[in-house]
Amino acid sequence: MDELQLKLCDIQGRLFELSGEKKLPSAAFIKAFMTSETAKELDSRYNRMQWMGEEYLLEEIISSAGDILSDTGEVYQKEVLYWIGYIYRYWHYYTGESSAKIIRQAPAATMKRNYMMFHTMDPVLAIEDLKEIHKQ
């Protein structure tokens, strides 16, 4: 993992955190983001979206998600949101899998449920364990 990739993991973590600050329902936001064109662009080798910052990225998601984010739902804790966003982006760089494929293996509820066990682990170990949970 190079410095640029780690920076992008941090940006995505801060994006997820920001969704919580804006009181967006976490599971809906995470699904909307991970299956969005924005996430697909971030998955590409190089894209201008990678340098837009979390505020701009959040506006992109809100504008494309429509009514999905207007529903009420649980807003996860700030630390949980950051970790989920960070790990999802790290997962992409580690495996090369798309954001859409990653969320099918580890939806928001799985990530939240396993946060306490996995958040202090090396990201690679957490990802491998999450992949194993998906297989079961």
pLDDT value of position 51: 62
Range of the domain at 72: 3-135
How far apart are the C-alpha atoms of 45 and 70, rounded to whole Å?
32
Which pair of tokens denotes residue 49? 């979206």
How far apart are the C-alpha atoms of 76 and 108, rounded to whole Å?
10
pLDDT along the chain (136 residues), means of 10: 90 95 94 92 72 80 78 91 98 97 97 96 96 92
pTM as predicted: 0.90
Domains in the chain, number: 1
Residues in contact with 11: Cβ distance below 8 Å, sequence separation at least 6, in sequence order: 50, 53, 54, 57, 89
pLDDT value of position 48: 59
